[in-house]
């Protein structure tokens, strides 16, 4: 799971977290007691869906701010990352 979540854990963390995770999952399994055969799932309490707006640009988004400058590593207006391939 840590690999899927893209988190590198230390061996110590692995031991501690897997123990705690076991306890938490065991607790969560109590939901099996509840009969949900004819129950619809709730993803959103207000039942809002498909909220549309006109496709018009906002007024000066971020003013004069260049979002790339927020990156911890950038050069000439591009993000810098380690080797991909």
Partner 1 sequence: MHRSTITQARELLRQKKLSSVQLTEAVFARIDQVEDKVQAFVHLTREKALEQAQNADARIAAGEDAPLLGIPIAVKDLICTEGHRTTCSSKILDQFVPPYNATVVEKLHQAGAVIVGKTNMDEFAMGSSNENSFHHPTMNPWDLDRVPGGSSGGSSVAVSAHECVAALGSDTGGSIRQPASFCGVTGLKPTYGRVSRFGLVAFASSLDQIGPLTKTVADAATLMNVIGGKDPRDSTSADVLLPDFTQALQKNVKGMKVGIPKEYFSTGGINPDVEKAVQEGIRTLESLGMQTVEVSLPHLDYAVATYYIIACAEASTNLSRYDGVKYGYRADKSDTLVHMYENTREEGFGEEVKRRIILGTFVLSSGYYDAYYLKGQKVRTLIKQDFENALEQCDVIAAPVTPYPAFKLGEKLDDPLQMYLADIFTISANLAGIPAMSIPCGFANNLPVGLQLMGRHFDEAGLITVGHKFQQATDFHTKETPL
Per DSSP, what are the bridge partners of residue 78?
Answer: 75
The residues that touch partner 1, with contacts defined as CB under 8 A, are 1-2, 4-10, 13, 17, 20-21, 23-25, 27-34, 36, 39-46, 48, 51, 53, 62-63, 65, 67, 70-73, 79, 81-84
CA 21 to CA 13: how far, in whole Å? 11
Q: Which is nearer to partner 1, 6 or 76 (CB)?
A: 6
Ordered DSSP codes for 11-32: HHHHHHHHHHHHHHHHHHGGGG
Q: Which is nearer to partner 1, 41 or 77 (CB)?
A: 41
């Amino acid at each position: 799971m840590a690999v899927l979540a893209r988190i590198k854990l230390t061996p110590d963390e692995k031991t501690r977290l897997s123990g705690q995770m076991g306890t938490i999952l065991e607790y969560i399994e109590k939901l099996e007691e509840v009969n949900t055969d004819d129950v619809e799932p709730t993803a959103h309490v207000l039942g809002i869906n498909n909220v549309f707006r006109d496709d018009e640009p906002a007024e000066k988004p971020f003013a004069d701010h260049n979002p790339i400058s927020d990156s911890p590593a950038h050069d000439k207006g591009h993000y810098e990352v380690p080797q991909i391939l």
